[in-house]
Structure 1
Amino acid sequence: MKNRTVARLLYAEDVDMNGTPVRQPFPTEQVDQIDPFLMLHHHVTTISPDINPGKAGIGPHPHRGFSPVTFIYKGGVHHRDSRRNNSIVYEGGTKWMDAGMGIMHSERPPHDIQERGGVQEIIQIWVNLPRKYKMTQPNYQPLQKEETPVVKGEGYEVQVITGRFGDVKGPIRALTPLLILRLTMKAGATCEIPIPENYNTVLYFLDGQVSLQGYGLVDGHNAAELNLDGEGCTITAKQDTRILFLAGEPIDEEVSMYGPFVMNTQLEVMQAMRDYQLGKMGILIED
């Protein structure tokens, strides 16, 4: 297998998102998006015992035109939305939502967060949707750890979220062609990942240190964007590490973003703002 080369390394700087500290490797001044992936946030916090979990996290807010996806590494996330979805996804699980034409949702720590140690670690990505799906009906898919297929190798495990890895197909039904994997690797382990030739690819390293064949060492809190010049990538863990692997067919359309709305034109964004103000994205009243 010919390994892809690294186009650039993106360090996940600390960013304040309305009072919530996150690490953000992209977007940055260097790179606007890695089509179809618009954003990646890595957030770690400890929920104080003095705080009501029902008041922590992110309260009701709207989305339109893309898929916000949350990977839970520690703790859990209580999801509620204006389509009456209500579920808690715990450590090792994935929370996938196609916002489509518009939806209100909230993401709070679960009620039993203190019993689980109070620590929350999540990654949220925004996956763009093409014009033909931006106004589709919203859809929510919760995926628990025990529902996620795992491929095991010598010193590593790969959770298959969506797309196909070897003979294993991920259960998430994405609206566009994607391959999303979560890797856990022990020091010394090596894993090869084939990548469809036209998929843009980025790997985010949560911690530890790895060697990417054909490039060299990469430390945690970095994202590696790969060129379209090979059949896959080969990762060797120098230290214990966790990796989020994101690959997808590029959409190659104009993107106009404002806050929680991702459309193709500024006029469509203005319409999204108006529809939200008129209540057309629904109402979410948390219990």
Structure 2
Amino acid sequence: MSDNLLPETIDLVIQPRLRDLGDGFTVRRILPYARRRHVGPFVFLDHMGPVRFEAGRGLDVRPHPHIGLATVTYLFEGEIMHRDSLGIVQPIRPGDVNWMVAGRGIAHSERTPDHLRPQGGPLHGVQAWIALPKAWEETEPAFQHVGGGVLPAIEKDGARLRLIAGAAFGMTSPVRSFAPTFYLDAALDPGGVLPLPEEYGERAIYIVDGSIAVDGELYESGSLVVFKPDVRPDVAAHSAARLMLLGGAPLDVERHIWWNFVSSSPERIEQAKRDWREGRFAAVPGDDEFIPLPP
């Protein structure tokens, strides 16, 4: 649909682009986008799968660095083993949250656990990067795992919502966020009505599965629907649907992104490049491989 034909409540609809992460594993890259670099503090959004690995195969994202952000991995199917330079070893399973604060610098890997490789299996999920406020960009790195059973949940009007991070609808997630934000997993029955948090300046819906109608216009899976500020769109499921609701306050300052580095300062990103190239990031215990700095 052309932008000039969009409902008045919608600013932009983004379609993902395929990106190869290596070994033939592709993701759908949603953010950043040329015309929309971020929604609230969300500066990166990847849709992984759904895919089914053959026996003996799996996900292998070798150790790589981050600065200036928090990553959040959220799965619908499968399992990933997280290892990082803090010494954390933590599997993530559907409905759980792995929240990694990179701050001044961290390295981590994400792989299919060894015990699942012989039989292969599914993988489906979303990974987001959330820019830390400028005052927190150089905070100490940290990691938090929250089991799905602890996340706040609400059900109404055919919609079941689970709050991954931030605050919305009177709920607050136990995941530590650094700026006003919200991130929800929503499952809708056909005809289910979806509210949007009204207290945030930037809001969007990513359609994982199914289709929704926004002010009478139909949008299919794979679309990121970005809303204008201060609007109250009518959102309802056209079919059974799985959605991610995300957004928050606008960024305090613009961010620069290069590879896995996010910062308000281009000079800081250049320093991070040198640090990774010259081996100054802490290693990931138990994982001796690494991804070289791209050219």
Secondary structure, in 3 states, of the residue corresponding to 1:190?
Answer: coil
Post-superposition CA distance 1:160-211 (Å, at most 9, x none): 11223333221111011111111011111112223214x3111100111111
Report how many aligned residue pairs link the two structures. 279
Give me the identity figure in percent: 26
Distance 1:239 1:143, change over 3 A: same
Secondary structure, in 3 states, of the residue corresponding to 2:285?
Answer: coil
Matches within 5 A, 1:94-243: 94-113=97-116, 118-197=121-200, 199-212=201-214, 214=215, 216-230=217-231, 232-243=232-243
Distance 1:12 1:137, change over 3 A: same
Asked whether the equivalents of residues 46 and 126 of structure 2 are also in contact (C-alpha less than 8 Å), the reply is yes
Q: Which moved more, 1:135-144 or 1:232-241?
A: 232-241
Over aligned residue pairs, what C-alpha RMSD do you find? 2.2
Offset, 1:126: 1.3
> What is the match of residue 30 of structure 2?
25
Distance 1:35 1:153, change over 3 A: closer
Separation in 1 of the partners of 2:106 and 2:75?
21
Separation in 1 of the partners of 2:245 and 2:12?
15
Secondary structure, in 3 states, of the residue corresponding to 2:282?
Answer: coil
> What is the match of residue 269 of structure 2?
269
Q: Which amino acid aligns with 2:249?
A: E
Offset, 1:272: 1.3
Which residue of 43, 48, 53 maps to 2:54? 48
* Ranges in structure 1 where 5+ consecutive residues have no aligned partner: none
* Ranges in structure 2 where 5+ consecutive residues have no aligned partner: 1-6, 288-295
Asked whether the equivalents of residues 148 and 160 of structure 1 are also in contact (C-alpha less than 8 Å), the reply is yes
TM-score w.r.t. structure 1 length?
0.89
TM-score w.r.t. structure 2 length?
0.87
Offset, 1:233: 4.3
Separation in 2 of the partners of 1:108 and 1:135?
27
Separation in 2 of the partners of 1:99 and 1:215?
41
Post-superposition CA distance 1:184-241 (Å, at most 9, x none): 11111112223214x31111001111112x35211111000111132x5442111011
Separation in 2 of the partners of 1:117 and 1:150?
32
Secondary structure, in 3 states, of the residue corresponding to 1:43?
Answer: strand
Separation in 2 of the partners of 1:7 and 1:29?
14
